[in-house]
């Protein structure tokens, strides 16, 4: 660590005076000293109303030795600090007591050398608070100067902040790795307007921002986190997002909704490369995904009479993905057999199974042709399943005597998960 010696008269309250820095001696000029004749509220609330000085080093340092020159104005040395308590803090809010001390009275002479002050034993702090409870016999209290020996912190401030803006809502912010940093604290916000800082905590020396607004100027800053310590903030940097370039698409309402299918579509942007579509049945935690270079896609093999949710995002020519669009939803129709019969004919070229007779009274015969069947079932006109049979011991005839008369739909599910549906009528045997 580098050692730094600071001659400090950084007075947060109540006055800022000029210090006198003649090596090892202190003058008797009152302008080279500080005094307080009225108590005020301490930044450390338990010290109450008192006479105090708070020193701010600007960042966290390791503190070692001190040297103190008490109040040295001729015939006024009684103002000098006598009984004092010293507290220190990293953030100016949470304080730790260093100890209680007695400061010797100054001589009032021009060759006053001061005295060796309290040792901080290599504690780490940014703020030091000295509170005087008594002095050497005057109405006011005062002190001339304190020399702090500081060790430069190992928690370095990040340098070299740069921004790579790839779209209207994405930017990658990076910086040089800072010595001693275990992680970083990153703040950003819109530069103009009354916007609060948004905080991120990256562990690496870069961060991806994906929630930005196109054509908007932002400002950001970062600091190193070294265990309980932190560096000072880096210099603020500004960057501007691109104008609506590869922004997320606008998602449209679903069309062509049937019992097993729906078509969804969205807008395109000039720099879109491809799209990723996510969809799921409402209530499910698992999304299904499809990729396409088109601006629409037809979802198939959906469950009838169910609500489904969907969303889409675009991949830019820069290979960055936009945010997801807000979710939309649609509800598939109950299974009616008519629209689905047309759909399934389009889905499969192997439309060579048959059922007969149709209408039928009790027995329904099935010829599967070249279809490799996984499962068959029968549904009534309102979509309720009234019969089901798995692939094991595949049957070619079904007895329908237990079913009431009406319209039904016979469905085969093949090994490609395509449905093949035909409608038939069950009627009385006259």
pLDDT < 70 stretches in the chain: 1-28, 30, 32, 152-154, 244-246, 318, 336-352, 391-393, 416, 429-430
Distance CA 410, CA 365 (A): 11
> What's the fold here for domain 3-151?
Jelly Rolls (2.60.120)
Which CATH class name applies to 338-426?
A: mainly beta
Q: Please tell me the predicted confidence (pLDDT) of residue 199.
A: 94
Element (H, E) at 339: helix 338-347
CB 88 within 8 A of CB 52: no
Is pTM beyond 0.85? Reply is no
Distance CA 129, CA 96 (A): 10
- Measured in degrees and rounded to the nearest 5, phi and psi for residue 346 equal -70, -30
Distance CA 324, CA 279 (A): 12
The residue assigned the tokens 């912190």 is 153
Burial of 196 (0-12, 13-18, 19+ CB in 10 A): exposed
**Sequence ranges of the chain with CATH classification 2.60.120.260:** 3-151
Closest CA to 263 of 342, 335, 332: 332
**Sequence ranges of the chain with CATH classification 2.60.40.10:** 162-240, 262-331
Q: Give whole-number Cα distances, 311 to 265, 284, 329, in Å.
A: 10, 15, 9
DSSP three-state, residue 75: coil
Residue partners of 174: CB distance under 8 A and separation at least 6 = 160, 161, 162, 164, 205, 206, 207
Q: Give whole-number Cα distances, 404 to 388, 389, 415, 426, in Å.
A: 17, 19, 31, 7
CB 53 within 8 A of CB 87: no
> What's the fold here for domain 262-331?
Immunoglobulin-like (2.60.40)
CB 372 within 8 A of CB 353: no
Distance CA 260, CA 59 (A): 64
DSSP three-state, residue 77: helix
**Sequence ranges of the chain with CATH classification 2.60.40.3080:** 338-426
Length of the chain: 430
Q: Per DSSP, what are the bridge partners of residue 332?
A: none
Burial of 32 (0-12, 13-18, 19+ CB in 10 A): buried
Q: Please tell me the predicted confidence (pLDDT) of residue 12.
A: 36
Residue-wise pLDDT tens digits, 54-87: 999 887 788 889 999 999 898 899 999 999 999 9
Which CATH class name applies to 162-240?
A: mainly beta
Q: Please tell me the predicted confidence (pLDDT) of residue 379.
A: 86
């Amino acid at each position: 660590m580098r050692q730094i010696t600071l001659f400090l008269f950084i007075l947060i309250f109540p006055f800022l005076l000029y210090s006198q820095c003649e090596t090892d001696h202190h003058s008797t000029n009152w302008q080279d000293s500080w005094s307080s004749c009225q108590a005020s509220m301490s930044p450390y609330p338990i010290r109450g109303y008192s006479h105090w000085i708070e020193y701010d080093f600007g960042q966290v340092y390791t503190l070692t030795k001190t040297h103190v020159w008490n109040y040295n104005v001729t015939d006024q040395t009684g103002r000098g600090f006598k009984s004092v308590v010293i507290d220190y803090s990293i953030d100016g809010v949470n304080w730790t007591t260093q100890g209680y001390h007695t400061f010797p009275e100054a001589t009032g002479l021009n060759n006053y050398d001061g005295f060796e002050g309290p040792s901080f034993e290599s504690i780490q702090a940014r703020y030091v608070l000295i509170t005087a409870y008594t002095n050497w016999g005057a109405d006011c209290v005062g002190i001339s100067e304190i020399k702090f020996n500081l060790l430069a912190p190992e928690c370095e401030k990040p340098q070299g902040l740069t921004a790579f803006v790839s779209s209207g809502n994405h930017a990658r912010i990076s910086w040089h790795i800072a010595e001693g940093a275990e992680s970083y604290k990153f703040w950003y916000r819109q530069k103009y307007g009354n916007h609060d800082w948004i905080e991120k905590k990256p562990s690496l020396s870069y961060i991806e921002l994906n929630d930005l607004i196109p054509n908007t100027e932002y400002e950001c800053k970062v600091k190193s986190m070294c265990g309980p310590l932190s560096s000072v903030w880096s210099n603020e940097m500004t960057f501007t997002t691109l104008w609506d370039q590869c922004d997320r698409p606008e998602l449209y309402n679903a069309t062509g909704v049937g019992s097993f299918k729906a078509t969804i579509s969205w807008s395109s942007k000039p720099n879109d490369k491809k799209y990723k579509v996510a969809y799921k049945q409402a209530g499910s935690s698992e999304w299904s995904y499809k990729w396409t270079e088109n601006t629409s896609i037809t979802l198939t093999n959906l469950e009838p009479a169910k609500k489904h949710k969907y969303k889409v995002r675009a991949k830019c020519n820069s290979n960055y993905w936009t945010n997801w669009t807000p979710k939309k939803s649609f509800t598939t129709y109950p299974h009616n057999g008519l629209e689905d019969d047309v759909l399934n004919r389009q889905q499969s070229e192997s439309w060579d199974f048959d059922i007969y007779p149709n209408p039928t009274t009790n027995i329904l015969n099935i010829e599967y042709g070249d279809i490799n069947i996984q499962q068959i079932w029968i549904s009534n006109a309102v979509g309720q399943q009234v019969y089901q049979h798995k692939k094991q011991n595949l049957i070619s005839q079904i007895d329908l005597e237990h079913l009431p008369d009406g319209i039904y739909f016979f469905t085969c599910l093949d090994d490609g998960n395509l449905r093949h549906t035909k409608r038939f009528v069950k009627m009385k045997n006259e």
